[in-house]
């Protein structure tokens, strides 16, 4: 439904997923990811306008959404997990676990997985090969879904802005400052907000 609402093509998602699956030479044991998250307090860090107000994080595990990684590395914080579709990521910390999404708009970026040691490939279509499908839509809400799915005891959100209509400068490497959100980006943020609310309000 979301794909048709935003005008995306399922065929392109399958092409991207197939390429990503071929680029991953070895299957990563996701039990390490589950053991890292289960029963622990998780910080999910987005790339919203308030990101540069963060100087430290106290949670047990840090999950960065895409471009937020670049800022965190700059302040000396290495994310334990990075959830990314690759369009904002410039820095590739060695020991992080990467949860990489393939979709129709990032085929030209998939080569970046060669910079990563621990990769769990994700798709927006029915998974096959080494691919996983944890759920979610944007990097930020997928990070929240992942934390919940892996058994986090508590999830705190940082720099996740759904209301201001402003996109943080760390979202894309070519942004020099915060920028107004386009209409389609506003739709994406609204979808992300709804997903996160449902996940955080869900009691098992």
pLDDT digits (tens, 9 = 90+) for 12-46: 999 999 999 999 988 788 999 999 999 999 999 99
Q: Is residue 21 part of a domain?
A: yes
Q: Is residue 151 part of a domain?
A: yes
Q: Is residue 204 part of a domain?
A: no
Reported as a single tens digit per residue, the pLDDT across 68-97 is 999 999 999 999 999 999 999 999 999 999
Q: Is residue 138 part of a domain?
A: yes
How many domains is the chain partitioned into structurally?
1
Its sign, for the CA torsion 99, 12, 88, 193, is negative
Say what the alpha-carbon torsion angle 93, 54, 110, 1 is, to the nearest 10 degrees: 150
Reported as a single tens digit per residue, the pLDDT across 93-145 is 999 999 999 999 999 999 999 999 999 999 999 999 999 999 999 999 999 99
The residue among 17, 83, 23, 21 whose CA lies nearest residue 47 is 83
Domain span at 103: 2-199
**Residues 85 and 101: beta-carbon distance below 8 Å:** yes
DSSP structure string for 137-156: SSHHHHHHHHHHHTT-SEEE
Q: Is residue 58 part of a domain?
A: yes
Give the bridge partners for 101, in sequence order. Answer: 122
- 146 CB contacts (<8 Å, ≥6 apart)? 37, 63, 81, 83, 99, 134, 136
Q: Is 78 in a helix, a strand, or coil?
A: coil
Is this structure's pTM higher than 0.95?
A: no
Q: Is 103 in a helix, a strand, or coil?
A: coil
Reported as a single tens digit per residue, the pLDDT across 149-173 is 999 999 999 999 988 899 999 999 9
């Amino acid at each position: 439904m979301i794909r048709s609402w935003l005008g995306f093509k399922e065929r392109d998602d399958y092409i991207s997923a197939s390429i990503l699956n071929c680029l991953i030479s070895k299957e990563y044991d996701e039990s390490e990811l589950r053991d890292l998250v289960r029963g622990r307090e998780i910080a999910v860090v987005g790339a919203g306008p308030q990101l540069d107000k963060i100087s430290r994080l106290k949670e047990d595990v840090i999950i960065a959404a895409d471009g937020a990684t670049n800022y965190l590395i700059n302040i000396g914080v290495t994310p334990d997990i990075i959830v990314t579709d690759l369009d904002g990521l410039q820095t590739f910390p060695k020991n992080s676990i990467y949860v990489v999404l393939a979709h129709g708009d990032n085929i030209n970026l998939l080569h970046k997985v060669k910079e990563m040691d621990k990769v769990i490939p994700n798709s927006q279509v029915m998974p096959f090969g080494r691919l996983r499908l944890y759920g979610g839509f944007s990097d930020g809400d997928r990070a929240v879904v992942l934390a919940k799915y892996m058994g986090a005891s508590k999830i705190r959100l940082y720099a996740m802005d759904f209301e201001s209509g402003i996109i943080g400068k760390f979202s894309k490497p070519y942004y020099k400052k915060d920028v107004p959100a386009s209409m389609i980006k506003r739709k994406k943020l609204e979808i992300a907000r709804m997903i996160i609310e449902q996940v955080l309000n869900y009691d098992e």
